[in-house]
């Protein structure tokens, strides 16, 4: 093959190699990516091995700080205590738990819970304007009457359908609590 033809072949192979990488350029480093290796003529043989070292994470824990929650029923949507946003993009399920302790005396048993609402305009509008929960995720702990100042829910695994959720606490006892939301996002 003549020198100009080798140059054209090399240029064509380079363009083709770059074209196979273009779709990958938009993927994040945490996404599963397809890799295609073409062996070119003997002039450009590709050799080597692909290895993966260390732990491959398929889950992440998102921490929420302690939230002080005064008595408020879940139906009182305008009074629920906001506690931030759960970033769930890229995950298919979440394990939720709620725990904490009372900050004041209480005499009435009740429920301390967390409701997660998708952070989508029409869903938030229904919640803010009409007090409607659409596609909520919920976990709750039952507190017995003066038996212990501490409470905790069972862990609940739920399917995610949206990339972000707003977090709201409620407390149907007659005492103030310090509550923690525990989240573990998985694929």
Domain match, 94 and 174 both: yes
Number of independent structural domains in the chain: 2
Predicted local confidence at residue 80, as pLDDT: 96
From 28, 31, 179, 50, select the one nearest 113 (Cα to Cα): 179
The answer to whether position 131 is within a domain reads yes
Q: Which is more confident, 30 or 91?
A: 91
What distance in Å separates the CA atoms of residue 45 and residue 156, rounded to the nearest whole number?
52
> pLDDT grade, residue 3 (50/70/90)?
low
Three-class SS of residue 111? Answer: strand
Q: What is the pLDDT of residue 73?
A: 96
CA 125, 86, 59: angle at the middle one, nearest 5? 145
DSSP 89: T
Question: Are 14 and 64 in the same domain?
Answer: no
Judge if 136 and 170 occupy the same domain.
yes
Q: Is residue 49 part of a domain?
A: no
Say whether pLDDT at 103 is over 80: yes
Do residues 31 and 95 share a domain? no
Given this model, what pLDDT does residue 34 score? Answer: 77
Judged against a pLDDT cut of 90, whether residue 36 lies above it is answered with: no
Residue 173 has pLDDT above 80, yes or no: yes
User: Are 126 and 57 within 8 A, CB to CB?
Assistant: no
Separation between Cα atoms, residue 174 and residue 40, nearest integer Å: 74
H or E element in which residue 14 lies: helix 3-25
- Domain range for 13: 3-44
- Tell whether 92 and 144 lie within a shared domain: yes
Residues 63 and 26 in one domain: no
| pLDDT tens digits for range 41-98 | 666 666 677 777 776 668 888 989 999 999 999 999 999 999 999 999 999 999 999 9
Q: According to the model, what pLDDT value does residue 2 have?
A: 60
- In this predicted structure, the answer to whether residue 99 has a pLDDT above a threshold of 80 is yes
Mean pLDDT check: name the lowest of 47-51, 108-112, 126-130, 168-172. 47-51
């Amino acid at each position: 093959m003549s020198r100009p033809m080798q140059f054209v072949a090399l240029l064509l192979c380079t363009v083709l190699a770059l074209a196979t990488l273009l779709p990958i350029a938009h993927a994040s480093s945490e996404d599963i990516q397809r890799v295609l290796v073409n062996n070119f003529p003997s002039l450009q043989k590709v050799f080597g091995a692909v290895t993966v070292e260390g732990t491959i994470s398929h889950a992440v824990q998102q921490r929420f700080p302690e939230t002080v929650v005064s008595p408020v029923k879940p139906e009182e949507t305008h009074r629920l205590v906001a506690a931030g946003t759960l970033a769930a993009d890229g995950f298919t399920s979440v394990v939720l738990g709620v725990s904490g302790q009372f900050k004041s005396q209480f005499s009435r048993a009740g429920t301390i819970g967390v409701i997660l609402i998708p952070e989508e305009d029409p869903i938030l509008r229904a919640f803010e304007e009409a007090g409607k929960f659409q596609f909520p995720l919920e976990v709750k702990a039952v507190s017995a009457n003066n038996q212990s100042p501490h409470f905790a829910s069972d862990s609940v695994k739920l399917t995610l359908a949206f990339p972000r959720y707003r977090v709201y606490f409620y407390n149907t006892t007659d005492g103030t609590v310090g509550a923690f939301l525990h989240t573990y996002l998985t694929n």
